[in-house]
Structure 1
Amino acid sequence: MAHSAKLVIALLHIFAWSFLDILEISNGTETDIYCLRSIKESLEDPYNNFKYSWNFSNKTEGFICNFVGIECWHPDENKVLNIKLENMGLKGHFPRQIENCTSIMDLDLSGNELTGTIPSDISLLLPFMTSLDLSSNNFAGEIPKSIVNCTYLNVLRLDNNQLTGFIPPEINQLPRLRTFSVANNLLSGPVPVCSDLTIPAQSDATILKLCTFPAESYVNNLGLCGAPLEPCKPSPKKFIVLCKEGFFVGWIVAMVTVVVVMFRNTLILLVKKAITKKNKKLMKAGTRWCSTDERSKNMMMERMVTRMSFIEISEATDNFNTNNVIGMGKIGMMYKAVLPNCWPLAVKRLNNCQSYETQFLSELSALGILRHDNLVPLLGYCNEQNEKLLVYKYILHGNLYDWLHVGEGELNNKILEWPLRTKIAIGVARGLAWLHHKYDFRVVHLNLGSNSILLDTNFEPKISNFGGAKISSSGGLMFMNSNVIDTSNSSFIDSGVWELGFVKKDVYDFGILLLELITRKEPIESNSFSYGFKGSLFDWITYLLSNSSDLYSVIDNSLIGRGFDDEIFELLRIACTCLNPFPSQRPTMLELYNTISTFGERDGITNDYDILMQPEIAIASSSIEINTISTFGERYGITNDSEILMKSEIAIASSSNEIVEVETAQTN
């Protein structure tokens, strides 16, 4: 009897524990379902990746395991193991709801358009994460220090964002970290080194190698230095005065302070005097951008391009009919517009004018005062209430990206022969060389790609999308993309940051563009060519150039065997120099233009040195188009003053870097 009683008690214990396990599993799976539902609701999904795949009406156990981008621990259990949502065009901020997927090990959000900062408490959100990939987004701010508490991390990729500040020095103490990249950001300071805590006393070369990462993990950052990059510049030795008598010490300190202050004030006065003399007119124009008064902004912009009313632009686009959409970017939609005289235009309408105020002003400040054969002509603008519009000349052949890359299921009816590709490369190089070298009002693009190169009727390239550009005069005046003039650092140009951090970033992007022209592959695909190759893209191309059999496998098949092989190989070598991991070792755009322009001579593409040296500030065709638009605006009370139009242009000395002072017309 006693034996039977013990058996019953044992069975009750087993039943109780089994019931508790079922409750725990049920609670865990419900949490994971809530996690995915919250992620879907928090992110903007313009391509409807979630709409049809992430269907929560299904109540079958394990149904979330069939969602796009979701991997489960077990196919019959709603418990998330990995979330991989790469290259889906998702928008929004980092989804904090991810913490409800309590057993997740791998998170990949790369290749999207996510913004904001990386959560400071990321180690609490993802305590057991082994792989985190947030590359190729628009994350800003600093790398959270708490990320060093994610001790299970094997892979951490934060490259191709807009991160600033320092790399947490403890990052090398993550014991399992094997893949790490913060390339193509705005980071500064020394690269973390292995500490004594990281390397045990009995460590060998293998362990030492694991706590250091190659140069390509850090390239294209503003101020990173130290191995494996270029050495950090040693800070000046501190002058230490040791004296027992406090009076003598105080006297020395006081004298040094007086001398330093006097020297500093004298230097500031001299620099300000030089800036005022050289850029008097430019400063007057620039300071007006800082005004918060909308009317003063409009007055300033009217001196650059024609102001148009929202009503006339709306009519020209048929009330922004979706049938007139010709492109879509991060900051807005591009529409084709037709004026009553049948003149075609292209109109960019910003999605949220408040959020993209800086990009709007940056585009105006760059293209509004610059005219060149290889820059897209900006003809007008609209800045009314909650609407911000930019009006361009309509470029017939669209962008280079659409000519090089064909979507899945589409017919490849667009063919670019090699002579046209060299013409495009020459034109882009000429435009960038002019922006970088031949104008005191210097500009760096920072967002160069095939989708920002437009092709006119004769396939002459026009550089566009200056929303992220940075603009500076040689005297140190700087328009960041916030359009605020920074005069606090008069030696900014000479500091090396402008050249290595900004100018050489354009050179690197130009190298990627050359690879696209040669391989007809997107940048992501071009990088995947080197998968498994231990080294940078620079090292990979160097290897290809010495192995012709592998080289032919990556070149566009339509180019091979048509008599251009030698030119293709030479252009690939030039692209290789642009992709050097060390910015100081990359060529300048002027050097690149002089080299590449020789390619087009046998195809009748002239090396027009005058075009490079003498930017066309008032191109006749652009002036005609602007006058056409402004005439159309007269019925809305918008003045058509051609004298103001011409006086608002900036003239350039033909063979020097001096800005000719501009007599800016005064508005009535």
Structure 2
Amino acid sequence: MRRELNPSYCSGEMGCFGRFRSKIRTGKGKRAPAARSNLSTASSSAAATSQSHSQDSSATGRQDGSRSSGSASSARTIPELYEERGASSLHEFGLRELHAATNDFSRLLKIGEGGFGSVYKGVVRLPGGPVGGTVVAIKRLNTSGHQGHKQWLAEVHFLGVVEHPNLVRLIGYCAARSERGPQRLLVYEFIANKTLDDHLFNRAYPVLPWDVRLEIAFGAAEGLIYLHEGLEVQVIYRDLKASNILLDEEFRPKLSDFGLAREGPSADQTHVSTAVMGTYGYAAPDYIATGHLTTKSDVWSFGVVLYEILTGRRSVEKNRPKKEQRLLEWVKQYPVESKQFSMIIDTRLEGRYSREGAREIAKLANRCLAKRSRDRPTMREVAKSLKQAMQLGGESGVSGNSSTPRDVHGKPTADDIAVASARRRMLHLAALGENRNSFAKRRFMFMRAAAAPPPT
């Protein structure tokens, strides 16, 4: 759950907890072109808060060296880049069109829910798209509260500008008004295999093989590198967590939910000062304590996710014994170089992982979780270390390489077969879910037709 963190409740290097309430700010900029009239109207209500972007940043010299050279000399903001690029690339949907796409937002088509609202699977017709329509995911924000609108606007702006294989693609949006008040919706590409959170922590899913876990971590790192370095404007994601890492049919990761994303500091600044927001268990302690946001805040969150991948445990689990509830505190009891280190590894892997690779991942996670932000690596350095860990074998004989390892005779190894079998089981599970949804939908339609009054 996304919330505002209270820095007064932060205690210890890895144990920062607080009370939360939803909050977001948006970057300053111009309105979208007149052709996007609905979005322009929706944007105007956030203008007052967006003007504080530069004013609440501290200018004391650059801290983070990961900024691209173009961003240092550019004064353009994300909304300005959106006006230039995104406004013409996103499709503007009508509210009636999205009602039809989701069978009036039927609960049978709901595929997710959070503080922002609900996500539905739907089918829309796009110019140049398939005759039968395009399957999409439609996020419908809660109508109550102004924070949802700001998050919606931030997602439109950021996802209208960014483009990368490891970032979810925004197809379009809807800004309308109905008898229930303002309606704010987002239409994304449909990602079939749910989230990393589902596959790590939900026992109904087959276990994620070791090499697939590392591929997912590497892809997420690539997405963050693009945000930190690949644009004129540096972007700080600010909400990295397992539930925001979507997985496609081939289990390639895609970062989603950009409602909390912020533009990074300009060339003469070390950080952006903001209200402290994030998700319980993932926010960096220095950010909670000071409100100073940098790309190293994302690096900290990535370190938490690495330990979740290693252990198969959530960052916070209140149903465990008290000493095991906070993941980062628990793993300290089993240092990387100790004989007890293997105690933290996800038991569902049943020993099928690279021992050496696991130790390197834990060392990398510890670097990401350094107390001082300047001691943490950049995401480019993180990706390089991940790549090296992916090449390591270990006592189990499992290769960390994502390519299909072969024995000397060119035949599939036992580990090849095991990984392929796990992939098939996961895809089969996804297919079963689709069939279940389809059956439930047909049953619902039959029941509704039976309940309808006969024609007169």
In which range does the TM-score fall when normalised by the shorter chain? 0.5 to 0.7
> What residue in structure 1 maps to residue 95 of structure 2?
310
* SS of the residue 2:105 aligns to: coil
User: Considering only aligned residues, what root-mean-square deviation do their CA atoms show, in Å?
Assistant: 3.8
Partner residue of 2:157 out of 344, 354, 365: 365
1:278 CA displacement? 4.8
Cα distance, 1:528–1:579 mapped onto 2, change above 3 Å: farther
What secondary structure does 2:165 align onto? coil
Identify if the C-alpha distance between structure 1 residues 288 and 439 changes in structure 2 by more than 3 Å, giving closer, same or farther.
closer
Match of 1:374 in 2: 166
Work out the number of aligned pairs and report it: 320
Confirm or deny that 1:421 pairs with 2:206.
Answer: no
| Alpha-carbon shift at residue 395 of structure 1 (Å) | 0.3
Give yes or no for the alignment of 1:333 onto 2:109: no
Identical-residue share of aligned pairs (%): 28
Local SS of the residue matching 1:537: helix
CA–CA distance in structure 2, aligned partners of residues 374 and 443 of structure 1: 15
Match of 2:365 in 1: 575
The answer to whether residue 189 in structure 2 is matched with residue 393 in structure 1 is yes
Aligned runs of 1:98-109 on 2, under 5 Å? none
Structure 2 regions of 5+ residues with no counterpart?
19-69, 126-131, 276-288, 392-398, 404-456
1:376 & 1:288 partners in 2: Cα distance?
A: 18
Q: Is the Cα–Cα contact under 8 Å of residues 360 and 388 in structure 1 kept in the other structure?
A: yes
Q: Which amino acid aligns with 1:348?
A: K
Indicate conservation of the 8 Å contact 1:317/1:324, yes or no: yes
1:5-404 superposed matches below 5 A: 138=3, 161-163=4-6, 181-182=9-10, 214-216=12-14, 278-279=73-74, 282=76, 286=79, 302-339=87-124, 341-352=132-143, 354-385=146-177, 386-404=182-200
Misfit runs of 4+, over 6 Å: 217-220, 476-482, 497-500, 526-530
Instruction: Output the CA distance in 2 between the equivalents of 1:396 and 1:468.
Output: 24
Q: Which amino acid aligns with 1:576?
A: N
State the TM-score, normalizing by the size of structure 1: 0.43
Q: Which one-letter code corresponds to 1:286 in the other structure?
A: P
Q: Are the counterparts in 2 of residues 452 and 465 from structure 1 also a CA contact under 8 Å?
A: yes
User: Per-residue deviation at 1:302?
Assistant: 3.2
AA at the equivalent of 2:137: A
Amino acid aligned to 2:6: L
Alpha-carbon separation, structure 2, partners of 1:546 and 1:277: 41
Contact 1:519/1:556 (8 A) holds in 2: yes
Inter-CA distance 436–546: structure 2 relative to 1 (3 Å threshold): same
Q: For the Cα contact (< 8 Å) 2:141–2:183, is it kept in 1? A: yes
Computing the radius of gyration from Cα coordinates, the structure with the larger value is 1
Unaligned runs of 5+ in 1: 1-112, 114-136, 139-160, 168-180, 184-213, 221-274, 290-296, 483-496, 607-668
Counterpart for residue 523 of structure 1: 315
* CA–CA distance in structure 1, aligned partners of residues 244 and 116 of structure 2: 13
Deviations 1:551-577, CA, capped at 9 Å, x for gaps: 222211132432512111211111111
1:566 match: 356
Match of 2:414 in 1: none
Distance change (3 Å), C-alpha of 1:563 and 1:424:
closer
Distance 1:558 1:349, change over 3 A: same
Q: 1:525 to 1:552 in 2, by over 3 A?
A: farther
Normalising by the residue count of structure 2, what TM-score does the alignment of the two structures yield?
0.61
Q: Are residues 314 and 474 of structure 1, via their aligned partners in 2, closer, same or farther at CA, if it must alter by over 3 Å?
A: same
Structure 2 distance, partners of 1:572, 1:288, is 38
| 2:368–2:377 contact (8 Å) kept in structure 1 | yes
Question: 1:589-608, aligned counterparts within 5 Å?
Answer: 589-601=379-391, 605=402
SS at match of 1:344: strand
Q: Distance in 1 between matches of 2:245 and 2:187?
A: 17
